[in-house]
């Protein structure tokens, strides 16, 4: 395999892993605070639609970014009200959000644009364009280094760099700040936090808010960075893959990055190589396309070590009288 081909596959890996990184970090904050969130998929979908629709109508991707985040935060708030205020079943609430988003996006898109449930194609300032980092031209003629810098490091959209920066930032917030300590405590022992005079509901709503913002960034990137518009069900199970990556990473930010890059690599390979010959046997294209989902099933089935979630995860907190 040529060096340039390897770099191009790695470049595609980073692009495809970006929405997973945002969504997995969203789930990380939510689940560390004790709120299981199956609804990552739905929030990605609604934010992807709103970002593309508003960007297409306004001509500004930044307006679309704001709309996508707002939509995701609203859906995240619905999940919060159902699971924190009304102490409902968090799994059912998340599944309901996924169904609601899947139906609403197509219905509103058809009513808004009359293009079969999709938005118009985005171009120019209506979508995120690649960013050339400093020294791109100066390094382009240097063997190997120029290819690595220009093809792999430079030339991504701004949201790719934001996703990568958020990984160490999330680690710092969760493990080096008072806010992070409270978020982790409310997911492990909410009664102890309540005894210390800290509101369990307020702390969990903060986690829900962060989750909504990060999911919003994931959906926005899907429709305005990775693609150039919204199409029906364009999240394509990435919310569930992000959950699998989160479990695989054992709810740790740096491991989340590694897990998402692994999923991105599998998708990049399946996109580039539709057929691979192994011992005179050609693997069908359907197998190659299903590689990320096969890994998801393997992880969720528990074959990759034991992952222990936060002790109070999935359980509503009922204060003792």
Which tens digit of pLDDT belongs to each residue from 7-63? Answer: 888 999 999 999 999 999 999 999 999 999 899 999 999 999 999 999 999 999 999
pLDDT of residue 316: 84
- What is the enclosing helix (H) or strand (E) of 276? strand 276-278
Task: Please name each of the domains of the chain with its CATH number.
Answer: 3-129+136-300 (1.10.3470)
Distance CA 248, CA 241 (A): 10
Which three-class secondary structure state does DSSP give residue 144?
A: coil
pLDDT of residue 80: 94
Contacts of 95 (CB under 8 A, 6+ apart): 38, 39
What are the phi and psi torsion angles at 131 (to 5°)?
Answer: -110, 125
Distance CA 79, CA 83 (A): 6
CB 20 within 8 A of CB 264: yes
- Map tokens 């495809």 to a residue: 16
- CA dihedral sign of residues 48, 54, 57, 63: negative
- For the segment 150-181, what is each residue's pLDDT rounded down to a tens digit? 888 888 999 999 999 999 999 999 999 999 99
Q: 273-311 b/e with 16+ CB inside 10 Å = b? A: eeeeeeeeeeeeeeebeebbbebbeebeeeeeeeeebbe
- Using pLDDT thresholds of 50, 70 and 90, give the confidence band for residue 197: confident
CB 84 within 8 A of CB 205: yes
Q: What is the pTM of this model?
A: 0.93
CB 252 within 8 A of CB 17: no
Q: How many CB atoms lie within 10 A of CB 151?
A: 15
Which of 32, 85, 39 is CA-nearest to residue 249? 32
- What is the enclosing helix (H) or strand (E) of 249? none
Report residue 149 as tokens: 């810098």
What are the phi and psi torsion angles at 35 (to 5°)?
Answer: -110, 105
Span 195-209, mean pLDDT? 93
* pLDDT at residue 184 greater than cutoff 60: yes
In this prediction, what percent of the chain has a pLDDT beyond 90?
63
Report residue 151 as tokens: 């093809």
CB 37 within 8 A of CB 27: yes
- More confident: 144 or 190: 190
Span 111-135, mean pLDDT? 90
Distance CA 32, CA 186 (A): 8
pLDDT of residue 303: 57
Distance CA 271, CA 16 (A): 11
pLDDT of residue 283: 63
Q: How many CB atoms lie within 10 A of CB 252?
A: 17
- More confident: 286 or 28: 28
């Amino acid at each position: 395999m040529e060096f340039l081909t390897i770099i191009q596959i790695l470049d595609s890996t980073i692009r495809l892993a970006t929405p997973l990184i945002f969504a997995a970090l969203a789930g990380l904050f939510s689940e560390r605070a004790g709120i299981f969130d199956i609804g990552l998929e739905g929030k990605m979908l609604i934010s992807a639609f709103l970002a593309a629709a508003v960007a297409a109508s306004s001509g500004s991707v930044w307006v679309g970014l704001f709309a996508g985040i707002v939509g995701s935060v609203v859906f995240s708030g619905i999940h919060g009200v159902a699971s924190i205020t009304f102490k409902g079943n968090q799994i059912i609430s998340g599944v309901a959000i996924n169904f609601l988003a899947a139906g609403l996006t197509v219905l509103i898109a058809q009513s808004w644009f009359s293009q079969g449930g999709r938005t118009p194609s985005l171009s120019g300032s209506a979508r995120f364009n690649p960013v050339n980092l400093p020294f791109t031209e100066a390094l382009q003629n240097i063997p190997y280094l120029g290819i690595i810098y220009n093809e792999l490091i430079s030339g991504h959209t701004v949201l790719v760099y934001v996703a990568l920066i958020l990984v160490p930032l999330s680690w710092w917030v969760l493990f080096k700040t008072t806010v992070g300590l409270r978020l982790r405590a409310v997911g492990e022992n909410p009664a102890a936090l309540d005894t210390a005079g800290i509101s369990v509901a307020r702390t969990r709503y903060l986690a829900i808010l962060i989750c909504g913002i990060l999911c919003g960034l994931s959906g926005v990137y899907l429709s305005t960075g990775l693609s150039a518009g919204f199409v029906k069900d364009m999240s394509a199970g990435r919310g569930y893959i992000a959950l699998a990556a989160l479990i695989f990473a054992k709810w740790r930010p740096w491991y989340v990055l590694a897990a998402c890059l692994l999923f991105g690599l599998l998708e990049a390979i399946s996109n580039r190589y539709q057929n691979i010959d192994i011992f005179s046997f050609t693997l069908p294209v359907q197998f190659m396309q299903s590689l990320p989902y096969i890994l998801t099933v393997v992880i969720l089935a528990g074959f990759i070590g034991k992952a222990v979630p936060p002790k109070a995860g999935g359980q509503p907190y009922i204060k003792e009288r």
